Amino acid sequence: MRGWIIAFLLLVVLLAIAVSWSACLNPSKYQTELERFLGHALGVGVQIEHVSMSWHGGGLRWILEGFQCYGLVNHEPLLRSSHAVCELSLWNFFSEVIRVNDLTIVKPEIFLTKRSTGEWNWSGRKNRPVSKSRPDHKTVHFSVHRLTIRSGTLLFCDESYRPIFNTTLSHLDAESLAIRGPQAPLHDVPHDGIRVTARFHLTHRPGSEIRLTFIYSPFDQALSLLELGYEGGTMILQGSCFHLKGIPRFEGIMEIHQMDLSRYLPQGWGRGPVVSGILTARWDIAAMGTHPILVRESLKGHGAIDIRNGSIRNVNFITQSLETMALPPGMKSLMLEPFPVGYQALFSGNDTDFEILQANVRFHEGKIRVKDLLVKASRYAITGTGELDTIHPWVEFKIKLVLLEEISEYLSGKIQAIRPFLNSQGRVVIPIRWQGLLPNPKFKADAG
């Protein structure tokens, strides 16, 4: 009989513990406090439609259904997700601090807008909701040790510059890298940074996927690494990113490895000169803003470019240069006669194919100054200097076309008036100027 009494008492104790734990673990009990904490941490309003509980891998999960963030002033949507998941430390439920090991927001739509005033729609820290607890209610504190976004979509809009710029990043993944203090809001504790990865497609090239990875520290507003990956290569930015009068500014080094230009240049450029090929480059740069036009106008820096196995499309430098030569009447008509088979591609095409294009470049206020230009192929070479104004747009180059021995011998033998253009190595050298508004700059002889 005594054994039955002891067993009954143990059962009662276990039931009491179970009820106590069930009450402690009931997520609806903490929903309001969790919304308040996250709203204070992010500087926005947070709404959760329903919270449920599940066990996963021996750990406890809260499922935050209908997870939303909204602006505090006009209640505009900032983030929408069907659900978020809290991974919890079970043993902290009997303390004043509930530790969330990981808060994962699943497949959110994130709306990021820079307004015409220069303010960001997420910059609501000064309007953070104030935590107000009832006198008879014991406040529960939370700590979030990692914030994760999985398979999100970022809809970005910059209204601060005209025309308004819109773009979308898909398959966005992000996670914080550091462990935060137990009771501090997410914004206020120094940490190592946030790693973000995303994939997106250029609107004019649906098949050209770009992979984006960067590490950013909100504490010191430093961008320690940005890497763009594309088919066959990468672009890496390393330096510092900070805000100047509310406008982000970047200073650092850009490296481009094996970029196929033909896959990423806008199709609308097809009417004018466009350079294709495999680009490798390294530049020291500084730029500011988020709108492409502002970035272009503020871009400063210098470096070198190397393009292999490419083409200057929509312009044939060989035929255009030959037409600038001051030949006697009737001589130019000889240039129109069919060339031998080996030379036909050089003179008859609409493009200027090359094996190597190299130059030193300098960026300043929307202009690209080019020095030590070398374009080289098996039967010709182009050298020179020039400038490209990307704002107006305008080009002005002073160059020399040098035809190699075989083709020079053929032309000088066919047209004697070309012989004065031969240099000491027996090569035809044609000095020209290439200048004018894009997409139709003009060729003319360079008398200087």
For the beta carbon of residue 425, count every other beta carbon within 10 angstroms: 10
Residue 380 falls within a domain, yes or no? yes
Residue 395 falls within a domain, yes or no? yes
Q: What is the pLDDT of residue 114?
A: 84
Q: What is the pLDDT of residue 99?
A: 77
For the beta carbon of residue 38, count every other beta carbon within 10 angstroms: 25
The residue written with tokens 């080289």 in the block is 376
Q: What is the pLDDT of residue 188?
A: 39
For the beta carbon of residue 51, count every other beta carbon within 10 angstroms: 21
Q: What is the pLDDT of residue 330?
A: 56
The verdict on 320 and 182 lying in the same domain is no
For the beta carbon of residue 43, count every other beta carbon within 10 angstroms: 20
Q: What's CA 70's distance to the chain center, in Å?
A: 26
The verdict on 35 and 182 lying in the same domain is yes
Q: What is the pLDDT of residue 279?
A: 94
Domain span at residue 398 reads 309-445
Contact 111, 104 (CB under 8 A): no
Residue ending a domain, choose from 192, 227, 262 = 192
Strand pairing class (109-114; 77-88): antiparallel
Residue 417 falls within a domain, yes or no? yes
Q: What is the pLDDT along the chain (448 residues), one digit of tens a residue?
A: 555 555 444 544 444 444 444 445 566 677 888 888 888 777 789 999 998 887 766 568 889 999 999 988 888 899 999 999 988 866 665 566 777 888 899 999 999 888 888 788 887 544 444 444 444 445 667 778 788 888 888 898 888 777 888 888 888 887 775 434 333 434 433 345 566 776 665 554 555 667 777 776 655 555 666 777 766 677 887 777 776 666 778 888 889 988 888 876 655 445 678 899 999 999 999 988 878 888 888 899 999 999 999 999 889 998 888 888 776 665 555 555 666 666 666 777 789 999 999 999 999 988 999 999 999 998 899 999 999 998 888 999 999 999 888 888 877 777 777 888 888 888 889 999 999 998 889 999 887 6
Residue 198's closest CA among 150, 148, 252? 150
Residue 102 falls within a domain, yes or no? yes
Residue 174 falls within a domain, yes or no? yes
Distance CA 196, CA 216 (A): 8
Residue 414 falls within a domain, yes or no? yes
Q: Which amino acid would we find at residue 389?
A: D
The residue written with tokens 């002891």 in the block is 6
Q: How many distinct structural domains can be found in the chain?
A: 2
Q: What is the pLDDT of residue 180?
A: 44
User: Is the pTM here over 0.85, yes or no?
Assistant: no
Residue ending a domain, choose from 192, 210, 239 = 192
Residue 287 falls within a domain, yes or no? no
Residue 440 falls within a domain, yes or no? yes
